[in-house]
Amino acid sequence: MAPRELEPLYERQREIVTDLVRVVAARAPISLEPPFAADWAAAADDGARLRVVVDQVASLTDTSAASWHARLVAPPRR
């Protein structure tokens, strides 16, 4: 089990992922990298398109997720 002092870090990570899925989905397909944009365009329905967005966000490293969040989500959440 993780120490309780890490809970704020995990909460912040959940916020970043949630924000990214929301913003990337709202701006898709332009917000997606080319392979994911192609998958999004080929998706049969909204559920499949959401899956593409989740796959895109899941493909990000911690550093790139933080960078995308800083670029796409405004104002920054603290």
60: left (phi over 0), alpha (psi -120 to 50) or beta: beta
The number of distinct structural domains making up the chain is 1
Decide if 57 is inside a domain: yes
- 70, 60 Cβ separation under 8 angstroms: no
Contacts of residue 43, Cβ cutoff 8 Å, sequence gap at least 6: 49, 51, 52
Decide if 50 is inside a domain: yes
Note the pLDDT tens digit of each residue in 19-64: 999 999 999 999 999 999 999 999 999 999 999 999 999 999 999 9
What does the pLDDT read at residue 76?
A: 54
Decide if 13 is inside a domain: yes
What is the model's pTM?
A: 0.85
Higher pLDDT, 2 or 9: 9
Range of the domain at 18: 7-72
Decide if 1 is inside a domain: no
Looking at beta carbons, which pairs linking 62-65 to residues 24 or more positions away fall under 8 Å?
A: 62/13, 65/16, 65/17, 65/20
Supply 30's token pair: 């332009």
Decide if 77 is inside a domain: no
Decide if 78 is inside a domain: no
